[in-house]
Amino acid sequence: MRDPAFPALHIRPARGWLNDPNGLCRIDGTYHVFFQYNPHAPVHGNVHWGHVSSTDLLHWTDQPVALFPRPAGMDAAGCWSGCIVDDGGVPTAVYTANPDHAGNATVGLARSDRTLAAWTQADKPVVLAPDDEAIDEVRDPFVFSFEDRRYAVQGAGKRGGRPQLLLWSCDDLEHWVPLKALLTTDDAVAAEVAAADIWECPNLAYVDGHWVVLLSVWRWIDGTHRLDGVRFLLGDLLREGDGLRFKATGGGAVDDGPAFYAPQVLTDNGRLLLWGWSWELGRDFSQLAQAGWAGSLTFPREMFVRNGRLGSRPAAELTGLRRERLDATSGAEFAAPAFEVVAPGPVALELVNGTDADQVVAVRGSGDQPARVLVDGSIVEAFAADRSTTTRAYPTESGRWRVVTDGPVEIWRLGLP
């Protein structure tokens, strides 16, 4: 029986656990998306790198699992987040290798041919955990280029301490040279916008004449950790001695919803694409075990800078999912596994399960920027006024959706062409 909550058009395997997107790249005309993956249970653990590929951002082909935890190896406790570098024609995964627990995580390399179908994981790390009392966890290497040099950052921090982005020179991926931190909370804007104990999943990109840093916020509160959303910083990337420094000039939230974390970006022919992880909301272990799956990647988004902030919209290719139009009468109920709502003014989406009706999201379009709400199973992604909101809502077999608006609206069923 079809699971009405399963997001069939989004990237995720049929079973198991999924979290962070990893290794986004486009090689020889094919997009590749990797992700944190437990193939054996819908819980975080035993983390592999899953892999899908596409030539159009609509049709995704499952590929063999790319990276595996190896017993007694540097990644025995998991192949955690990282990126992929086209290193002189050799696709190279640069990933967090966890030997036993997060405090001992290192940086590992794995290499493939141009198909990216089979990978050889190195036996030894290229970077060890730092010997620094101000840091107890480091992870999530992200490689970028600046002025014809190659660098990498890692998110770092400490429970009850201060977050920072470690910086390395890595023109030779086999030999990393440590440099002074790229960013700390000595930067007043970063300290205010992205308060955290640890910064995770850092990304750097240049878009619309601005350098952008993305930070996933890990906080230690009341004896436990909380993943507290994702922040962006706009600013300048400056030379400082042998290294670099990021000076923030502004920032804010990347997404306003409760189910968005750990995004990664891909520069693609002049545009900046982004995927994020959308976790489950309000589902306990027994519900996840019964479903057999947990977590989804978002649809790809195009990121841009406008009016001093980082904005987002659905990737242009996603209009290719539109099939026939549905009844767009305000208040009418309908059933569809996946659909898109487009409205030039205010619009709200409600989920009706039995006699219960809950508002899922409410947004407002304006001018030439209509609000768009894309729904696929239980994942809901809303876009309006250059902002995004990612949330979850779980339809039952008899569940129905309802759109409420006082103006014109279009509703499209979504499906593969």
One DSSP character per residue, 249-312 reads EEEEES--SSS-EEEEEEEETTEEEEEEEE--SS--HHHHHHHTEE-EEPPPEEEEEETTEEEE
Count of C-beta atoms within a 10 Å radius of residue 176: 19
Average model confidence (pLDDT) for the chain?
Answer: 97
Which structure tokens are listed for 335? Answer: 């059933």
20 in active site:
yes
> ∠ CA 178-184-190 to the nearest 5 degrees?
140
According to the model, what pLDDT value does residue 100 have? Answer: 95
Q: Which of 3, 20, 187, 376 is catalytic?
A: 20
Is residue 281 pLDDT above 90, yes or no?
yes
Residue with tokens 């209009």: 319
- Name the DSSP letter for residue 331: T
356 pLDDT band (50/70/90 cuts)?
Answer: confident
Kind and range of the H or E element at 287?
Answer: helix 285-291
357 pLDDT band (50/70/90 cuts)?
Answer: confident
Question: How many residues belong to the chain?
Answer: 417
Rg (CA), the chain: 21
Closest CA to 32 of 300, 303, 322, 304: 300
| CA torsion angle 116 120 124 130 (round to 10) | 20
294-309 burial, b if ≥16 CB within 10 A, otherwise e? bbbbbbbbbbbbeeeb
Is residue 367 pLDDT above 80, yes or no?
no
195 pLDDT band (50/70/90 cuts)?
Answer: very high
Distance, CA of 213 to CA of 237 (rounded, Å): 10
| SS3 at position 116 | coil
2 pLDDT band (50/70/90 cuts)?
Answer: confident
Strand 301-306 versus strand 333-334 pairing type = unpaired
Is residue 377 pLDDT above 90, yes or no?
yes
Closest CA to 50 of 18, 14, 28: 18
* Phi, then psi, of 104 in degrees rounded to 5: -110, 15
Asked whether 232 and 214 are in contact (CB, 8 A), the reply is: yes
Contacts of 307 (CB under 8 A, 6+ apart): 386
Q: What are the pLDDT digits (tens) for 108-124?
A: 999 999 999 999 999 99
Tell me the H-state helices in 82-199: 188-193
> ∠ CA 224-228-231 to the nearest 5 degrees?
145
